[in-house]
Structure 1
Amino acid sequence: MSQEPEKTAQDPAKAQPGTEKRHKRPSVMLYLVILFAAAFLLMAWSYVIQQRANHETMSDLEESSSALENVIQENEDLKAQAAELERQLADAQDQMDVLSDTISSQEQVLEQTCQAMDYFWQVNEAYVRGRYTLCRELITAMEDTSNGQTPLKDYLPTESTTNNDRFSPADRYQEIYDDLY
Structure 2
Amino acid sequence: MSKPDSDKQERGQLQHEAEHEKPDKRNPVLFYLMILFAAAFLLLLMSFLMQRRANQEAINNLQETSNSASQSLQNTIEQNEELSKQVADLEQAFSENQQTIRDQENQLEDLEEQVADLTKSSQAMDWFWQINEAYVRGRYSQARSLIQEMGEELPEYLPRESVTDNDRFSPYDRYQEIYDALY
User: If the length of structure 2 is used for normalisation, what is the TM-score?
Assistant: 0.72
Within 5 A, what are the aligned runs for 1:59-138? 59-77=67-85, 79-80=87-88, 102=110, 104-138=112-146
User: If the length of structure 1 is used for normalisation, what is the TM-score?
Assistant: 0.72
Aligned to 2:13: 2
1:51 to 56, 59, 78: 59
Change (3 A) 1:180 1:26: same
Whole-angstrom CA distance in 1 between matches of 2:166 and 2:74: 77
- Following superposition, the deviation at residue 71 of structure 1 comes to 3.6
Aligned to 2:138, the other structure's residue is in SS state coil
- Following superposition, the deviation at residue 53 of structure 1 comes to 0.7
Aligned to 1:161, the other structure's residue is in SS state coil
Aligned to 1:155: 157
- Following superposition, the deviation at residue 86 of structure 1 comes to 5.8
- Following superposition, the deviation at residue 154 of structure 1 comes to 1.1
Aligned to 2:27, the other structure's residue is in SS state helix
Query: Greater CA deviation, 70-79 or 39-48?
Result: 70-79
AA in 2 matched with 1:31? A
Aligned to 1:2, the other structure's residue is in SS state helix
2:34 to 26, 30, 35: 26
Residue-pair matches, total: 172
Give yes or no for the alignment of 1:38 onto 2:46.
Answer: yes
Q: How much identity, in percent, do the aligned residues show? A: 31
Give yes or no for the alignment of 1:179 onto 2:181.
Answer: yes
Change (3 A) 1:76 1:117: same
AA in 2 matched with 1:50? A
Query: Greater CA deviation, 77-86 or 167-176?
Result: 77-86
AA in 2 matched with 1:113? S
Whole-angstrom CA distance in 2 between matches of 1:59 and 1:165: 92
AA in 2 matched with 1:46? A
AA in 2 matched with 1:133? S
In structure 1, stretches of 5+ residues that fail to align are: 146-150
- Following superposition, the deviation at residue 134 of structure 1 comes to 2.2
AA in 2 matched with 1:2? Q
Cα deviation per residue 1:77-124 (whole Å; 9 max; x = unaligned)? 455556556656666666666566555544433332222111101122
Whole-angstrom CA distance in 2 between matches of 1:27 and 1:20: 11
How well do the aligned residues superpose, as a CA RMSD in angstroms?
Answer: 3.2
Bigger Rg, which one? 2
